[in-house]
Amino acid sequence: MEKIFEEFAKKIKTKEELIFYLEEIIQVQQIVFKNKGVTLSKKMGGKMSGELKNFLERLEKKEVISKNPGQQSSFLEKLKKYLQSLPEIKLEIAFLPSDEFLTRINQWLEEEFGQKVILDLIINPQIVGGAVIEHRGNWRNFSLVKEIDKLISQKSL
Amino acid sequence: MNTIFLIIASLFIVMVLIVLIFLTFTTRSKKREEFLIQEFIKDTLFLKISETFQKELEKLIKEETKKIILENKEKIQKATDEIIESYKKELEGISQEVDKKNSQFFELSLKAQNEILTNAQNKIANLNEETKKEILKFKEVNSETQKLLLGEAKNQVSKLTQNLTQEVSQVYQVAKEALRGQITKTEQEIESYKKERFKEIDQGIYQMIGKVSKKTIGKAIDLSTHEKLVMEALKKAKKEIF
């Protein structure tokens, strides 16, 4: 089951995306018990995003998820908890990153941490360049603005 | 004026007296005539007098009376003339005396005036002379006093000038020292102020540079450099906090 969740989690790069999927999961959980004996993907209809629906359909075909509402609910709850338990890194950068760059960061972090890491991304042009990074309460400023301020204060002394 | 008034007054009195005398004599003549007539009437009471006689008598009486009146008039005229003559003489005498007195008085007053004038002129001349002498004396004294005062003043001024020069010199030295100290202090303050100002200006400049740099560098960096910087930051973070 872990691997199934990991597979889904690969699609998620940022905290914004994570919240989006978590909200969808919660919405699906709300309709789980409405039509008994119907698959989750059918219950969702066209209301949900394609990613989550495709993911659920694949699992339904593999009979990982049955038509039993109880089992469906349990699966959704586990998925939600898994996603919520993923470690986060707050990353403040000066530019709007491309999807490719975000994927590269995600891969690098996954390699370094040995697991999926969600990026809590903040775009702030005032840091000029570099990044301000926070992980589990530890904070570091590797921005260019800090370097410029340091340089100016050294010069003005 | 007084003399003329006296003469006129005297003449008036004389005229009044003459009139009074004439009236007295006239009254008396009439009374006498009546008296005689009365006496004659008394006598005729006892004597029967013829009308012719009576007429004659009356005529006689009238003539007699006229005579008496004429005589009296003459006497009165004579007396009056005498009196007038006497007064005239007396008045002429008085007038002459008055003129004489006036003349004497005029002469005396003229003389007195001349004397007074002469005395006054003499006195004024004397006074002028004395005044001139006094003025000369005063001028001499004044000249000496002036010389003395001038000499004294010169001495005093000389002393004062010396003292003043010394005092001014002392004050100048003190002021010079104070001023020098003040200048040094002010120069130090200016230097300190300059340094502070320059520092402030430098800070301002650097802050400005910083602001400009922050605005321009961020825009100037291309996307690949941004990505590279982010990756470097992540690698540093890995070492420090991951």
Per-residue pLDDT tens digits for B109-156: 899 999 999 999 999 999 999 999 999 999 999 899 999 999 999 999
Joined tokens for residue B134: 């006094």
Distance CA A36, CA B235 (A): 51
Q: In this complex, do A98 and B240 lie within 8 Å of one another by their Cβ atoms?
A: no
Task: Tell whether B92 is covered by a domain.
Answer: yes
Same-domain pairing of B7 and B121: yes
pLDDT for the residue A37: 84
pLDDT for the residue A48: 77
Task: Tell whether B22 is covered by a domain.
Answer: yes
Question: A154 vs chain B: nearest CA distance in angstroms?
Answer: 10
Task: Tell whether B143 is covered by a domain.
Answer: no
Closest C-alpha among A41, A119, A110 to residue A76: A41
Q: What is the total count of domains within chain B?
A: 2
Output phi, psi for A94, to 5 deg.
-90, -10
Output phi, psi for A19, to 5 deg.
-60, -40
pLDDT for the residue B179: 92
Question: A149 vs chain B: nearest CA distance in angstroms?
Answer: 7
Which of A16-20, B44-48, B90-94, B161-165 is predicted with the least confidence, judged by mean pLDDT? B44-48
Of A130, A153, A155, which is closest to B229 when you measure between CB atoms?
A: A130
Please identify, among B125, B159, B175, the residue that sits at the C-terminal boundary of a domain: B125
Of A93, A126, A128, which is closest to B230 when you measure between CB atoms?
A: A93
pLDDT tens-digit series, residues B166-184: 998 998 999 999 999 999 9
Mean pLDDT score of chain A, rounded to an integer?
91
Please identify, among B125, B153, B178, the residue that sits at the C-terminal boundary of a domain: B125
Residue B47 pLDDT greater than 80, yes or no: no
**Contact call for residues A87 and A112 (beta carbons, < 8 A):** no
User: Measured between beta carbons, which residues in chain A are less than 8 angstroms from residue B200?
Assistant: none
User: Measured between beta carbons, which residues in chain B are less than 8 angstroms from residue A145?
Assistant: 214
ipTM of model: 0.89
User: Measured between beta carbons, which residues in chain B are less than 8 angstroms from residue A105?
Assistant: 230-231, 234
Domain range enclosing B106: 2-125
Of A138, A142, A156, which is closest to B202 when you measure between CB atoms?
A: A156
pLDDT tens-digit series, residues A76-104: 999 999 999 999 999 999 999 999 999 99
User: Measured between beta carbons, which residues in chain A are less than 8 angstroms from residue B213?
Assistant: 128, 148
Which site among A106, A135, A144 would you substitute to test the B interface, given the most B Cβ atoms closer than 10 Å to its Cβ?
Answer: A144
pLDDT for the residue A155: 73
Q: Tell whether A144 is within 8 A of chain B (Cβ).
A: yes
Q: Please tell me which residue, B87 or B133, carries the higher pLDDT value.
A: B133
3-state SS assignment for residue B230: helix
Please identify, among B125, B141, B175, the residue that sits at the C-terminal boundary of a domain: B125
Q: Which residue of B has its CA nearest to A145?
A: B214
pLDDT band at B25 (very low <50, low <70, confident <90, very high): low
Task: Tell whether B45 is covered by a domain.
Answer: yes
Q: Tell whether B199 is within 8 A of chain A (Cβ).
A: yes
Q: Can you list the positions of beta strands (E) in chain A?
A: 88-93, 118-123, 130-135, 138-143
Mean pLDDT value of segment A135-156: 89
Distance CA B140, CA B15 (A): 82
pLDDT for the residue B53: 81
Instruction: Write down the H helix ranges in chain B.
Output: 2-46, 51-220, 223-240
Task: Tell whether B43 is covered by a domain.
Answer: yes
Domain boundaries, chain A: 2-85, 88-156
Q: Tell whether B223 is within 8 A of chain A (Cβ).
A: yes
Residue B10 pLDDT greater than 80, yes or no: no
Instruction: Write down the H helix ranges in A68-115.
Output: 69-85, 99-113
Q: How crowded is residue B226: how many other Cβ atoms within 10 Å of its Cβ?
A: 22
Mean pLDDT value of segment A92-118: 95
Task: Tell whether B80 is covered by a domain.
Answer: yes
Task: Tell whether B121 is covered by a domain.
Answer: yes
DSSP annotation of A120 reads E
Chain-centroid distance of CA B84 in Å reads: 60
Mean pLDDT value of segment A121-131: 95
Mean pLDDT score of chain B, rounded to an integer?
85
Which residues neighbour A2 within 8 Å (Cβ) at sequence distance 6 or greater?
A: A82
3-state SS assignment for residue A138: strand
pLDDT band at B33 (very low <50, low <70, confident <90, very high): low
Q: Tell whether B1 is within 8 A of chain A (Cβ).
A: no
Q: In this complex, do A140 and B227 lie within 8 Å of one another by their Cβ atoms?
A: no
Q: In this complex, do A140 and B230 lie within 8 Å of one another by their Cβ atoms?
A: no
Distance CA A87, CA A118 (A): 6
Task: Tell whether B139 is covered by a domain.
Answer: no
pLDDT for the residue B212: 84
